[in-house]
Amino acid sequence: MKNIKVVLCLTALICILSACENNKMENEKIIYDVNFENENDQMQAEQEEIEQEEIKQEEIDQEEIDQEENQIIESIVPFDLDTLSFQMTLNEEENGKLQALYVIFDGNGNEMQTIENQPYFTKDWYLLYSGNCCNFEDVNFDGYLDVLTKNSGGDVNAYYFVYIWNQEANQFLYSEEASSIANIELNNEKEQIFSIRTSYL
């Protein structure tokens, strides 16, 4: 009988210890699960914080780009292109070649651009035709006047250095194609360019 009591006590003790061990393992599991969830929450929070910082940096970069673009736009002089004028200076080199400088002014007298080219004739010949050495025409029919400076020619065939107004660049740009046309005649109504070249036999 005494042995049975001892066995029962041992069995009860084992059950109690087993239950305690199970509770301990369960508690550790709960702690591990909680810690794991906390780590996931922390990683997610850190990732969200990084994403927010990236978004803020992108916004700052875009603001800087917009400010630079606005500064460029504000720096462009709003020229009055309805009427243009010019001032010409001629320099004759030792070899007899000319350097012609044209300072172009807008309708308000603002200096727009200096154009330099080398016409194909002497100074005296050039001055003879100085009244027709620089013209302003809308060569490409875009609504803006362009610059045509005398290159060569006399009473029959005439060639011009043609500079087309570029609104984006805010200046006149040389056009090789238009400059190759002799005796330019424009039909603004039909937006057509005519050229009649006389050849000598």
- Residues 89, 14, single domain; the answer is no
Residues 188 and 111 in one domain: yes
What confidence tier does 201 reach under pLDDT thresholds 50, 70, 90? low
Please report the DSSP string for 32-62 in residue order. HHHHHHHHHHHHHHHHHHHHHHHHHHHHHHH
* Domain count along the chain: 2
Query: Is residue 201 included in any domain, yes or no?
Result: no
Q: Do 172 and 130 fall within a single domain?
A: yes
- Domain encompassing residue 11: 1-75
**Which of 15, 45, 75 is a domain's end point?**
75
Question: Helix, strand, or coil here: 186?
Answer: strand
**Does 41 share its domain with 133?**
no
In a domain, 99, yes or no: yes
- In this structure, are 70 and 92 located in the same domain? no
98-125 pLDDT per residue, tens: 888 899 999 888 999 999 988 877 777 7
What lies within 8 Å, CB to CB, of 121 at 6+ separation is 98, 152
Residue 110 belongs to some domain of the structure: yes
92 and 135 together in one domain: yes
Q: Is the pLDDT of residue 150 over 90?
A: no
Strand pairing of 85-92 and 98-105? Answer: antiparallel
At 17, the pLDDT band (50, 70, 90 cuts) reads: low
Question: What pLDDT, on a 0 to 100 scale, did the predictor assign at position 148?
Answer: 93
Structure pTM?
A: 0.59
Q: Are residues 56 and 92 in the same domain?
A: no
* DSSP classification of residue 169: T
Q: Which domain-ending residue is among 51, 75, 99?
A: 75
Specify the pLDDT at position 82. 82
Look at residue 29 and tell me whether its pLDDT is greater than 60. no
Last residue within a domain, chosen from 25, 49, 75: 75
Please indicate, yes or no, if residue 96 is contained in any of the structural domains: yes
Average pLDDT of the segment spanning 47-74: 75
Work out the mean pLDDT of the chain and round it to a whole number.
76
Residues 124 and 186 in one domain: yes
